[in-house]
Amino acid sequence: MSVLIQTSQNVPVEYELASVGERIVANLIDIIIYIGWAVSWSLIFSQLRVAGAFFSMLLIILPIMMYPLFTEYFLNGQTLGKRAINIKVIRLDGSQPSLGDYVLRWLFIVIDNGFFSSLVAVIAIASGGKGQRLGDIAAGTTVIKTKKRVTLDQIIYESPQENYQVTYLQRKQNPELLDMTADKIAQLLGASQGKSQRQFLQTIVNDYAYLVAKEAEEF
């Protein structure tokens, strides 16, 4: 399954959705981290002979509760489990999730993963078509594989079909338009052409394609 993301450059980029199995494995890795954290502090408390609900809440339970929110926010949409499996959270409109989006996902963890042993989340992800648990639906996010299906060649150039019809034939019929276009772009950019108008425009197209590819890599 895949999801189509529209970048800020209005270029559609297709990403492969994280599977239910990958999200479960990532969650299990995070649970192992929880257990390791709790056991470590319990051993420290026993050695120091420290007891009390306050210290347990402050140093064990609270960090575990806040872990999904903090890691996803500061690690660009990934918990340590997600990073290990190479999956991450993104918004369906292509933008980076905000703190509010991560908070919404975090608030729904109790429903998605707390009750019925993640059954609600599994059903929602498997049946929704966009790989969303309830928290994702509320926040407008989903989880994708960080290895994108798009390639640089696909973004830069796509060979036209044999029966392709030229839309803007005026450029061929009026070569002066090429010079006017190059001069106008150079003026808007405050750039010097330094070469023929045709080479200058080709460079502009190549620069644009490269920047779009770099932007796609940031997701």
* pLDDT tens column, 158-217: 555 666 666 655 555 566 777 777 777 777 777 776 667 777 777 877 777 777 666 655
Pair (126, 169) in one structural domain: no
> Residue 42 — pLDDT band, cuts 50, 70, 90?
confident
Pair (169, 79) in one structural domain: no
Pair (98, 200) in one structural domain: no
CA 173/CA 200 separation, integer angstroms: 20
Domain holding 90, by residue range, is 2-145
| Position 151 in a domain | no
Pair (168, 138) in one structural domain: no
Please check the confidence at residue 76 and state whether its pLDDT lies above 80.
yes
CA 59/CA 82 separation, integer angstroms: 24
Output the 3-class SS for 103-142: HHHHHCHHHHHHHHHHHHHHHHHHHHCCCCCHHHHHHCEE
What is the number of structural domains in the chain? Answer: 2
Pair (130, 177) in one structural domain: no
